[in-house]
Structure 1
Amino acid sequence: MTLCFATNNANKLAEIQALLGDDFQLKTLADIGCHEEIPEEQPTIAGNSRQKAEFVWEKFGVNTFADDTGLEIAALNGEPGVHSAHYAGPQRDADDNTRRVWDRLAERKVPLPADARFLTVITLVLNGEYHQFEGIVQGTIIGEKRGTHGFGYDPVFVPENQSRTFAEMTMAEKSRQSHRARAFAKLVAFLKKD
């Protein structure tokens, strides 16, 4: 089956292709001729996921899926949430975003490690029908960066029942337990059920 993954993020693409395996031919936005910025204007992670998938389906008529992911910190009332990628500003810099998280936690006098979770929502548009799949990983935010793998908040997020950050794990290790992996497992199960 051929599907478009509505992303320009090479890290995500590699991670998802590894999860999907050979049963699916994954096309990028560039492969289908989409070179414009896809809107992400919704107030929720699920809303952004749907908006991205809907944009590709309506404009290009291609079966597609889009994901949106956010880090939600309990003590910050779910921040950065839908704003995770640009929490510290439009430059979308992972180091700046991490510093902003630490600063916000310090402002609220929240001790580290602090309870947090990663949430991924995938929206699949298959022949005009919409389906959503959710994946969650509970964990904590720590006060130092550890590891060189992954991206975003991975160096400061320790998943529940683990001693290492996502950034200290190989892609294969992370893929077995990540929020994205959990959401994509539901997507793949759905696609393979027919």
Structure 2
Amino acid sequence: MTRLVLATRNPGKLRELRQLVAQVPQLAGLDVVSVGESYPQIEETVESGVTFEQNATLKARAVAQATNLPAIADDSGLCVDILGDCPGVFSALWSGTHGADQANIDLLLAQTIDVPVEQLTARFVSCVVLALPDGTQRAHFGEVRGRLTRDQRGTNGFGYDPIFELPDGRTLAEFTDGEKNAISHRGNAFRAVLPDLVTLLT
């Protein structure tokens, strides 16, 4: 068995992937680490792509080449139907500053202020790419559908989670970690890539 490097500095993403890998007997012994944990010297990849798959591919390939190990990366964002799937790949910097969660929320709600709530359907989308040093790669997508809500609710989330309402009436920020991982866009994409890990790494 080999080492798999997750192209992230987010400990939550690493924990989520480790939990999923641990559920697959064929992957017992796979050493799942992250760039932030084991390779902090690797520079962050410029996400110059215009699609989730392009950005995830850029990150996975860069880490696979830098470490000469299998690498996995994800790119995700919020796609609002009435905005033509924006903010999309620009979700994290929608307000002009990367990762300014509250500013991003405020701008998005201001842009849709005149739209009836029932028409604010949206989905979170994630693309996960597995890249091997020999150039082999696999891409998988996951998504979760819901709609925007104007009142921010919940504290167990980040990004747009407090205004993304699921059919049961809760926002993603009101879900527990376990509940969120079971239905989230990234969780779905990570689960989709597990068979590739079994095929290509065992």
TM-score using structure 2 length: 0.88
Q: Superposition pairs for residues 55-74 of structure 1, below 5 Å?
A: 55-74=62-81
Q: Give the structure 2 partner of residue 13 of structure 1.
A: 14
- The partner residue of 2:35 within 25, 29, 35 is 29
Asked if structure 1 preserves the Cα contact closer than 8 Å seen for 2:61 and 2:132, the reply is: no
Structure 2 residue identity aligned to 1:184? F
Q: Does 1:183 align with 2:189?
A: yes
Q: Give the structure 1 partner of residue 175 of structure 2.
A: 169
Root-mean-square deviation (CA, aligned residues, Å) is: 1.7
Structure 1 residue identity aligned to 2:65? E
Q: Superposition pairs for residues 1-150 of structure 1, below 5 Å?
A: 1-21=2-22, 23=28, 24-30=30-36, 31-106=38-113, 109-113=114-118, 114-128=120-134, 129-150=136-157
Asked if structure 1 preserves the Cα contact closer than 8 Å seen for 2:129 and 2:137, the reply is: yes
User: Secondary structure in 2 aligned to 1:13?
Assistant: helix
Structure 1 residue identity aligned to 2:142? G
User: Secondary structure in 2 aligned to 1:148?
Assistant: coil
What is the aligned residue count? Answer: 191
Aligned counterparts of 2:42 and 2:198: Cα–Cα separation in 1: 30
1:91 to partner: Cα distance: 4.0
User: Secondary structure in 2 aligned to 1:176?
Assistant: helix
User: Secondary structure in 2 aligned to 1:26?
Assistant: strand
Q: Which runs of 5+ in 2 are unaligned?
A: none
Q: Percent identity?
A: 32
Aligned counterparts of 2:181 and 2:40: Cα–Cα separation in 1: 29
Asked if structure 1 preserves the Cα contact closer than 8 Å seen for 2:77 and 2:90, the reply is: yes
Structure 2 residue identity aligned to 1:15? E
Return structure 1 stretches of 4+ with deviation > 4 angstroms: none
Q: Which runs of 5+ in 1 are unaligned?
A: none
**How has the CA–CA distance of structure 1 residues 90 and 138 changed in structure 2, closer, same or farther, with 3 Å as cutoff?**
same
Structure 1 residue identity aligned to 2:198? K
Aligned counterparts of 1:111 and 1:20: Cα–Cα separation in 2: 41
Aligned counterparts of 2:22 and 2:96: Cα–Cα separation in 1: 35
Aligned counterparts of 2:7 and 2:77: Cα–Cα separation in 1: 17
User: Secondary structure in 1 aligned to 2:143?
Assistant: strand
